[in-house]
Amino acid sequence: MSLSEVDFLHYNSHILIPEIGDVGQEKFNNATVMIIGLGGLGCPVAAYLAASGIGRIGLCDFDSVEKTNLQRQLLFSENDIDKPKVEVIKKQIGKINKRILVDAHNEKFQDLVSDADYDIFIDCTDNMDTKLFINDFCYRAKKKLITGSATRLEGQIIGFDFEKNSKCCLECIFDKSGASQFNCSDLGILVSLLGMMGCLQVTMTLNMILGNFKKHGIVSRFDSFESQWIELKPSNKVNCPICDLLKQEGSKFVQHK
């Protein structure tokens, strides 16, 4: 779909950037992206994907808004308590950009995989089992995946382009024993860090759409207390149940079919 005169005006700040231009903005408008988990990361991700003009956005979460969400999940208000998160955010980002399509899936991602037809998947969940399931699905379906997390004063983001690179996946980097580090409900979280990491997930998504993604499997970790970034290079885990081709038939995604 080409840009209209109204689109040129609306997305002018993007189009003026040589690395994006009208061709890049058309790519954004034609892209499809699913967000899994609509909490502290998912809220800024949804807002900035909409503002960027992503043509079709899928929202996946089975939770309702709770009062304890309001301080760190900024698309919700007290009037939204007990409402499904997907419906509230669909309405909110529709106000940000009425030109986009938004699919609301009020269910677990594990129950949605047969209908999950999107170019890129953004994992904003705080549950390791779910993260590994999403990783498994994206690896097998050869999809692009951006997974993020934040607890206390640290956040991290990892991108995978399984369409072009089958080496290294999330299972190589983490396993279920590390699940607790992603639970901000128990460990606490610096609110501004969620906004920062969510925006970085969106920026990585836009780079993927533009064909400018070069950090497959690299863990980018930010320590907000020290204002310090570190990067960890990827490596394949021996006998990884996902990307070790000899072990694929034992993966969790197969068991959930």
| Catalytic residue annotation | 184
∠31-41-206 over CA atoms, to 5°?
A: 25
Amino acid letter, residue 172: C
Rounded Cα distance, 243 and 150, in Å:
25
SS3 of 80, please?
helix
How does DSSP classify residue 40? T
Rounded Cα distance, 250 and 248, in Å:
5
Rounded Cα distance, 240 and 111, in Å:
24
Rounded Cα distance, 196 and 181, in Å:
18
Rounded Cα distance, 17 and 187, in Å:
40
Amino acid letter, residue 242: I
Of 230, 208, 190, whose CA–CA distance to 143 is shortest? 208
Residue 147 pairs in a beta bridge with 123, 158
Please report which helix (H) or strand (E) contains residue 252, including its range: helix 252-256
Rounded Cα distance, 32 and 205, in Å:
11
Of 248, 224, 227, whose CA–CA distance to 171 is shortest? 248
> Six-digit token pair at 95?
């106000």
